[in-house]
Amino acid sequence: MTTRVALITGGARGIGRGIALDLAAQQWSVAICYRTSAEDARQTTHAIEERGGRALAIHCDVSEPHAAKALVAQVEQTWGHIDALINGAGPYHRVNLFEETPQGWEEMFTNNLHPIFYLAQAVAPSMRERKFGRIISFGMANADKMEAQPYVTAHYIAKVGILILTRTLAKMLASDGITVNAISPGFIDSGSAPPGELDGMVSKIPAGFLGDIQDVVSTVRYLLSDDARYVTGANLHLSGGWGM
């Protein structure tokens, strides 16, 4: 049986790292893409190998189209193919819309939306040839409501764009055995927020508690499985009822 191969952007820490370690435990080969911390990437690749998976860490800025294409090519040359693309990278900042800079506005689209387009274009040919593939991206739990967002405007618009791109890719790739889905988290305690920052949000969550990395991991595991072979173009809310 051919070993499954995943490419995870933002895979060196947080949610991406959690997904990488879960796949490693299932003996996947996991390539993680990172942009900032080489030490985080080194520790994650070591943890992947400890759990029984093959690991590859690649420094890459996937907001640059040629770099994104080269990243996919490197993984395919190393392991022959890519079964799953998981778009985990997606920074944001909070700033009043009228205080936002042109650079800050551009960065939200450049780093959240554009890489998914570049990477999908790059992985699709091989997935189509093999008649199998999984593409998963991350939205935002209330993005499908298209509400006013005075402090995360560009980030929010980018997340709405991800949902449209997900459905478009799903429709275009379904006949090739490729599923394309989005996961839209609410408040997830992934370790990236300062201690205590998320505590005040609990009262706003109908379920009464924060999500954690394992909640995301379990959802990804389902979407990658054969149980989800007929699920495509979906936007799975992972929010405990927040954002409905």
**CATH number of 152's domain:** 3.40.50.720
Q: 89 to each of 116, 132, 139, 166, 192, how far by Cα in Å?
A: 10, 23, 11, 16, 13
Residue 57: both structure tokens together? 């860490």
Task: Give the residue ranges of the chain where pLDDT is below 50.
Answer: none
Q: 243 to each of 46, 223, 233, how far by Cα in Å?
A: 37, 22, 20
Q: What is residue 10's predicted lDDT score, i.e. its pLDDT?
A: 94
Q: What is residue 239's predicted lDDT score, i.e. its pLDDT?
A: 96
In a domain, 244, yes or no: no
Q: What is residue 179's predicted lDDT score, i.e. its pLDDT?
A: 98
State the catalytic residues.
156
Strand stretches in the chain, DSSP E: 5-9, 29-34, 54-59, 84-87, 133-138, 178-185, 188-189, 211-212, 235-238
Question: Do the Cβ atoms of 237 and 184 come closer than 8 Å?
Answer: yes
State whether the Cα torsion 162-168-174-177 is positive or negative: negative
Of 117, 102, 98, 124, the closest CA to residue 161 belongs to: 117
In a domain, 129, yes or no: yes
Q: What is residue 244's predicted lDDT score, i.e. its pLDDT?
A: 86
Q: In the chain, what's the furthest Cα-to-Cα distance?
A: 55
By CB neighbour count within 10 A (0-12 exposed, 13-18 middle, 19+ buried), where does 39 fall?
exposed
Is the pTM here over 0.85, yes or no? yes
Q: 104 to each of 16, 35, 155, how far by Cα in Å?
A: 24, 18, 10
Residue 94: both structure tokens together? 């909070």
Beta partners for residue 5, in sequence order: 29
In a domain, 9, yes or no: yes
CB atoms under 10 Å from CB of 110, counted, come to: 17
Torsion of the alpha carbons at 164, 169, 170 and 174, rounded to the nearest 10:
160
The total number of structural domains that make up the chain = 1
In a domain, 50, yes or no: yes
In a domain, 30, yes or no: yes
Q: What is residue 170's predicted lDDT score, i.e. its pLDDT?
A: 98
Q: What is the DSSP string of 121-165?
A: HHHHHHHHHHT-EEEEEE--TTGGGT---SSSHHHHHHHHHHHHH
Of 59, 206, 85, the closest CA to residue 138 belongs to: 85
Domain range for 232 is 5-238
Of 154, 73, 149, the closest CA to residue 110 belongs to: 154
In a domain, 243, yes or no: no
